[in-house]
Structure 1
Amino acid sequence: MTTQHDDRPDFTPYDGPAGGWGSVRSLADIIPREENMAVTTAELLRQNKPDGFACVSCAWAKPHPPHPAEFCENGAKATAWEITSQRVTPAFFRQHGLTELRTWSDYRLEEAGRLTHPMKYDRATDRYVVAPWEEAFAAIGARLKALAPKSVVFYASGRASLETSYMWQLMARLYGNQNLPDSSNMCHESTSVGLKAAIGVPVGTTRLEDFDSCDCILHFGQNVATNSPRMLHQLRSVAKRGAAIIVFNPLRERGLERFTDPQNPIEMATGKETPIATQYHQVTAGGDIAAMTGIAKWLIEQDQIDHDFIARHTHDFAPFRDKVLATDWADIERESGLPREAIEQAARAYGKAKATIAIYGMGLTQHVKGVDNVRMLVNLLLLKGNIGKPGAGPCPVRGHSNVQGQRTVGITEKTELAPVEKLKEMYHFDPPTEKGLDTVEACAGIIDGTVKAFLSLGGNFARAVPETELVEEGWARLDLSVQIATKLNRSHLIPAAGETWLLPCLGRIERDLQDGGPQRVTVEDSTSVIHYSLGKVEPASPHLLSEPAIVAGIAKATLSPNAHVPWDRWVGDYALIRDEIARAFPHFFARFNERLDEEPGGFWKGNKAAGREWDTESGKAEFLVPEELNATGFAAADGRFRLLTLRSNDQFNTTIYGYSDRFRGINGTRQVVLMNRDDIARAGLSAGQTVTLVSDAQDNHDRRVGDLIVVEYNVPPGCIAAYYPECNPLIPLAHHAEESHVPAAKSVPVRILG
């Protein structure tokens, strides 16, 4: 790919807060650039409102009643990006072949605009050419019929609605497999595994109102200003109440330091800022288990624990207690990168708190010991009885807007998480019960050739996963690639050996008019609340189909007719799909349609652990005895660094909105490596020098990313940071979380070549 930086990138430190005029100026840049300013401005007033649309960016909770402007900087960018006036028409592909387009940056590809026609790759001309929808469905169906079901993957990105996701998983199971990887496999599967084993549910227990009654927040590995900026409203309120906000994060992120509320006229006029973190501890990458062990050790030694809760509601406390007390402080300090005094300071604040929320993101989940990270955080909460009471509980911050909801309605490769017996009863077929492929296993199948076809419901799979080069090589050998998308991305530019189809769909913000009239869809936020979403914008092209219509088209062309699966009726009226979801998942979705109308702010689907019901083998919440203090899965060695991959402020997942990482003072480039000043000197390097990162996985495979500019930055010693997805080629496929298979992108072993 081409180098992704200007001739003269700028590295001037940014001194402003999160929010404030910096956010306003950022929006003033992107909204006019997309040349649809009037429509975008009007739609922003509907964003995350009960009668509006759910943001296509992050999954953070939506308050009721909402703020006057219930959108953040990145959410507004996502809206402008989706309803841009730019178009990728058939003329675009006549001008640009795929070989050329593969040299374009991620930013330039998506900036080209919205896809307008269904397209098929023509190998003779190396171009996409227009094909009718009927031809596309027939050809895809014919290919799928000729393949063994186990060789086909049905991937789902995190933005597809509950209705589409339900149809997608049903199609896969009717076809004969549970190869249903999704973006959870890349980020929060460690949460799903860790929380399920510890407290019996795979999701967090907190709700938005818990922020009103907590007096402490433990915050691990989550960059709020970039990944979920609307949460800053809750953190600001907590901080103004004088509650403790204790942050553990390798980098000092501006949103966790100070915030100016763009919706507060006084703060905007005066430049007033709200300090967020009361303590900020720069734990080394992979050192969180050690830091949490130190907190637990202090709490137990000082008898600052809830004995009654532990006795009544937990199992296996004694071995956990004994292990923690036997752990030496020298080991804790070495592995956490923090002095004992700092850990004890955090422990004292947590110890005196009555109700604590534990917020975390991929800084915990994307490590080899990611599941242990999650369960160790649960251990801290259990010590103080901080699950199942107001103002307390685990709060994993999910990424994409409906990634949690997809799992709720059956997007999973695991039989025990899907209502297969209920599906059998409802649709009169024998669902597969063999475990399907997750993301890592799907990548392995693409590489070794056992995966023959890949159908993608959104997303940019080939760019988002580890082992990029080998995955792309394997992708080119597929019999079939089907990409359902709104915009062009790199995954669309790797043609399969057989057929390659690019199917454009309506976006969530656009009007979805079917036989039953305008259609609403639903999504689930990070706090398990279900919301309506209604698009009203004129579609980007009259040739677009809705996601449910595309799924139904593929299903009808592929599967034998089934009188119990009325695909066309479902496409005509999405309320019928919600009725099916209610039948399949009555414990979550009883009276689905009625509850949506009765509770315009969204309804909570319920959570047993929040009521102190523990759906575990012992019937109680489980303490985990940590085996190791280091979550990285590899040992320290001379010249070996721990690479953290991260997002910029101008990015959401693999979508790049621009080249300004404002908070980190990096502008005009993404080709950087952030290094500690002392590490730069020890390595014999200098700021501004161009270097190459090389994998140090010691598996005899050459992985490297070059043309990276060294930037001096406040990073813990022995750690470096660089952007995702540019550095994904450095992550071995085998370097993933144990049990959950989440790629361990927050601690990758690398060396630096000057």
Structure 2
Amino acid sequence: MTAHKKSDAYRYASGGWGSLRAVATVLLKEEALVTTSRALAHQNKPDGFMCVGCSWAKPAHPHPFEFCESGAKATAWDMTSKRVAPDFFEQHTVSELEQWHDHALEDAGRIVAPMRYDAITDRYVEVKWERAFAEIARELQAIEPDAAVFYTSGRASLETAYMYQLFARMYGTNNLPDSSNMCHESTSVGLTEAIGVGVGTITLDDFDKTDLMFFFGQNVGTNSPRMLHQLQDARLRGVPIITFNPIREPGLVSFVNPQSPTQMLTPGATQISTQYHQVKAGGDSAAITGICKALIAADDRALAEGGPRVVDAAFIAAHTVGYEAFAAYVREMSWEKIESTSGLTREALTGVADEYARANAVIAHFGMGLTQHRLGVQNVRMVVNLLLLRGNIGKPGAGPSPIRGHSNVQGQRTVGITEKPALAPLDKLAEQFLFEPPRNEGMSTVDACRGVIDGKVRAVLQLGGNLVRSVPDRYAIEPAWRKLRLTVGIATKLNRSHLVHGEVSYILPCLSRIEIDERAGVAQAVSMEDSTGCMHGSRGVATPASDRLLSEPAIVAGIAQATLGTRSTIDWDAWSNDYALVRDEIACTWPEIFHDFNERMWTPGGFHRPLPARERKWKTTSGKAEFIMPETLDEDPDMPARDATDMRLFTVRSDSQFNTTIYSLDDRFRGIRGSRMVVMINARDIARLGLAAHAQVSLEAVSPDGHTRRVDGMEVVPFDLPDGCVAGYFPECNPLIPLSHHAKQSKVPAAKAIPVRVIAA
């Protein structure tokens, strides 16, 4: 398959008829039009189920259709009428399925029975749940606890995540990596250092009170489209939105609300970004330095002339440390360096500073375009610096707003999924459940991958996720993964991690969050935390895909009971039949967040976790909010450009994608159809490198370890990008990322600035 002959910029607003057509197409394709349409009426409603896709906030007073194109696709994908039953594996060997495209694997349908790999036939065969639990337990009991890894995707509910981390710690390990390690760990580290909390400080109410919004490295049109409602409302109030992104994304340019008959039937759209700056990949710290330099220069002039201050001097004096050192740094930094590194002009950045200086309350949204860098933590800290300059943390309508991806990726960290013992209430858990938790630091996702390659890891359990595809350095990971003794995947659909398997391998199919979860004759509900720190209940509404499925809590309880036996003080059977008991224990562990959990979980709009920084209480080392000076404005001093032919690759997702799940090979917004094996380059660089549009090329990355990493069979697609930057899809470009190429401090894979060369075939 080849890409579309042209890749013109998408000529229409996000939303609108294009979105409706895309939703209709996926509903028909998954052969579940009626059932999915009924379920969508309950999606993100206070008495319904929370979206299995993104974690954007759920309003107390939802729209009639409180779902977006991406959310509808995720729901249709789960509610498909297609089935992967045991006879599917009778027809297809694992070796054969390995040749299928990732899209085809998941498109085969829902897995409906627990399966065990049979090496003699090279097939998965059906196994009884009790036998699967017993055999997994036997394998875990045969190895040292620290040789096992318990990975969690962002899909798991608060109840499941709490049970999972307790099981792992009672088993004897803190090896609890999760999808945060892959995306927003830089946020958790950076915000905690700077303001004392590792999450954003805004709520939906702040959208009504803000005067200005920034966007840094976040594609709202494909990653969190429901947010466009709040952005549209703000723009109609005249709120400026200033965007920094290498690609001009339609969702950040203009929007037509599919729920508004007036907008759907009339020409025109709401302009979202009032300024759009195509920053170079890795140039964000430089761009923010330029804005801060212009602000501080204006403040210096105001002081000299006796005019009103531009920075919030009173706030800085009362609530921060490190301002003078940071101010001296930006005064000394040259505009030449800022411009060359950011790819933006002094005039453009000064214009941003002027707009910022006129606003009283400012929100700064950011995503993985900021966090997935070698200096990702620094990028987050620089956003905080920008906000602190004008007192934009701890007042209405202002604050940092990290846009999380998966639906409960933030919540699972709140209830103990972490490899860092200091972040888990180990003493409280020891008292509560009468065991001694391990105190050594566990493995992050990058550490776990290194452990797999080195042979230190013998077992990997995945609660959701598709690690074989999502992690860096795939060509090193896959052969090492096959040498694992045990792999277990708790999943709804077939993916690559089930096929690149260990010696002993199980697929344990679970209920989707959309489906009715009935235990002991009583319908159960679960809960999750959205990206604004609000907790919500979620109740399934659809008939399960099979009566052989178990819920995620029941599967975790089954493995835990079989593995721990009398070592555990927990009545896992009782917990698996009544999730309210689990919530009572969560409330006991974190009473300041979850008191009266069962009574409050159905609060419309959710109940909010306490965030001291919202009240200007700073739980930092100094007791105040902390400025930092950047280590460097260069994206990666450890991997500098070798010469002018080196480019910076950043990975992107398409509008028909959620994490490693590919709904379609088309990318409507980028005009690319039929293939994801493309590299987007601007016309100037195509000519400079002696390439041609639609030529076949390879991407090659060389890292300090001396290994050359290469992806072949790529097609050159002309695209509007900054000079020296190229873009390709995740996860297709993951083999180019060295495992060592990760963010300092947070170990997030640095997927947004990979040094590569484009080589003609």
**Alignment TM-score > 0.5, same fold:** yes
Per the normalisation by structure 1, the TM-score is 0.98
* CA displacement at 1:563 relative to structure 2: 6.3
* CA displacement at 1:106 relative to structure 2: 1.1
Counterpart of 1:404 in structure 2 is 410
Query: After the TM superposition, which of the residue ranges 51-60 and 693-702 deviates more from structure 2?
Result: 693-702
Counterpart of 2:302 in structure 1 is none
Counterpart of 1:151 in structure 2 is 147
> Pick from 298, 301, 311: which aligns with 1:305?
311
Matched length = 748
Distance 1:174 1:242 in 2: 54
Tell me if structure 2 keeps the 8 A contact 1:10–1:668: no
Report the secondary structure of 1:394's partner residue: strand
Distance 2:564 2:235 in 1: 55
Aligned 1:598-609 pairs, distance under 5 A: 599-609=603-613
Tell me if structure 1 keeps the 8 A contact 2:10–2:250: no
* CA displacement at 1:632 relative to structure 2: 3.4
Distance 1:412 1:399 in 2: 17
Matching residue's letter, 2:420: K
* Amino-acid identity (%): 57
Counterpart of 2:307 in structure 1 is none
Distance 1:687 1:652 in 2: 28
Distance 1:750 1:696 in 2: 7
Tell me if structure 1 keeps the 8 A contact 2:3–2:715: no
Aligned 1:291-440 pairs, distance under 5 A: 291-303=287-299, 304-440=310-446
> Pick from 19, 22, 42: which aligns with 1:23?
19
> Pick from 618, 628, 633: which aligns with 1:629?
633
Matching residue's letter, 1:653: N
Matching residue's letter, 1:281: H
Q: Deviations over 1:556-608 (max 9, x none)?
A: 111132563111111111011000000111121111111124x2331111211
Matched, 1:615 2:619: yes
Matched, 1:746 2:756: no
Tell me if structure 1 keeps the 8 A contact 2:3–2:675: no
> Pick from 569, 587, 592: which aligns with 2:597?
592
Distance 2:7 2:395 in 1: 46
Counterpart of 2:569 in structure 1 is 564
Matching residue's letter, 1:292: I
Distance 1:294 1:495 in 2: 49
Tell me if structure 2 keeps the 8 A contact 1:287–1:337: yes
Q: Deviations over 1:338-357 (max 9, x none)?
A: 01000000010011100000
Q: Deviations over 1:488-520 (max 9, x none)?
A: 000110121x31011001110001000261000
RMSD value, Cα: 1.1
Report the secondary structure of 2:64's partner residue: coil
Report the secondary structure of 2:703's partner residue: coil
Distance 1:736 1:707 in 2: 26
Distance 1:684 1:562 in 2: 66
Matching residue's letter, 2:624: K
Report the secondary structure of 1:522's partner residue: strand
Tell me if structure 1 keeps the 8 A contact 2:174–2:442: yes
Matching residue's letter, 1:522: S
Distance 2:436 2:475 in 1: 38
* CA displacement at 1:701 relative to structure 2: 1.4
Matched, 1:225 2:229: no
Matched, 1:286 2:291: no
Distance 2:65 2:223 in 1: 18
Distance 2:349 2:728 in 1: 27
Aligned 1:729-740 pairs, distance under 5 A: 729-740=735-746
> Pick from 508, 517, 523: which aligns with 1:512?
517
> Pick from 533, 544, 550: which aligns with 1:545?
550
Matching residue's letter, 1:720: V
Distance 1:407 1:7 in 2: 39
Q: Deviations over 1:379-405 (max 9, x none)?
A: 000000000000000000000000000
> Pick from 170, 176, 179: which aligns with 2:175?
179
Tell me if structure 2 keeps the 8 A contact 1:531–1:602: yes
Matching residue's letter, 2:616: R
* CA displacement at 1:36 relative to structure 2: 1.0
Distance 1:83 1:89 in 2: 15
Matching residue's letter, 1:626: P
Counterpart of 2:534 in structure 1 is 529
Report the secondary structure of 2:201's partner residue: coil
Distance 2:319 2:565 in 1: 50
* CA displacement at 1:683 relative to structure 2: 0.8
Q: Deviations over 1:2-50 (max 9, x none)?
A: xxx3586664543111000000111111101111111100111100000
Distance 2:187 2:635 in 1: 15
Matched, 1:650 2:656: yes
Distance 2:442 2:259 in 1: 46
> Pick from 726, 732, 744: which aligns with 2:732?
726
Query: After the TM superposition, which of the residue ranges 731-740 and 296-305 deviates more from structure 2?
Result: 296-305
Matched, 1:197 2:202: no
Report the secondary structure of 1:703's partner residue: strand
Counterpart of 1:38 in structure 2 is 34
Report the secondary structure of 1:669's partner residue: coil
Matching residue's letter, 2:430: K
Matching residue's letter, 2:506: W
Matching residue's letter, 2:298: Q
Distance 1:329 1:13 in 2: 31
Counterpart of 1:456 in structure 2 is 462
Unpaired runs of at least 5, structure 2: 300-309
* CA displacement at 1:103 relative to structure 2: 1.1
Matching residue's letter, 2:26: I
Distance 1:397 1:16 in 2: 24
Tell me if structure 2 keeps the 8 A contact 1:516–1:572: no
Tell me if structure 2 keeps the 8 A contact 1:197–1:616: yes
Distance 2:612 2:439 in 1: 26
Unpaired runs of at least 5, structure 1: none
Report the secondary structure of 2:281's partner residue: coil
> Pick from 90, 99, 102: which aligns with 1:94?
90
Distance 2:661 2:756 in 1: 25
Go from structure 1 to structure 2 and tell me whether the alpha carbon gap of 1:210 and 1:8 turns closer, same or farther (over 3 Å shift). closer
Per the normalisation by structure 2, the TM-score is 0.97
* CA displacement at 1:102 relative to structure 2: 1.0
Report the secondary structure of 1:406's partner residue: helix
Tell me if structure 2 keeps the 8 A contact 1:165–1:406: yes
Q: Deviations over 1:429-459 (max 9, x none)?
A: 1001100000000000000100000000011
Distance 2:728 2:73 in 1: 22
Matched, 1:673 2:679: yes
Distance 1:562 1:748 in 2: 47
Matched, 1:214 2:210: yes
Distance 1:451 1:145 in 2: 14
* CA displacement at 1:164 relative to structure 2: 0.2
Aligned 1:19-168 pairs, distance under 5 A: 19-168=15-164
Matching residue's letter, 1:233: H
Go from structure 1 to structure 2 and tell me whether the alpha carbon gap of 1:332 and 1:282 turns closer, same or farther (over 3 Å shift). same
Matching residue's letter, 1:277: S
Aligned 1:221-260 pairs, distance under 5 A: 221-260=217-256
Tell me if structure 2 keeps the 8 A contact 1:468–1:729: yes
Report the secondary structure of 1:668's partner residue: coil
Matched, 1:263 2:259: yes
Report the secondary structure of 1:209's partner residue: helix
Distance 1:209 1:635 in 2: 43
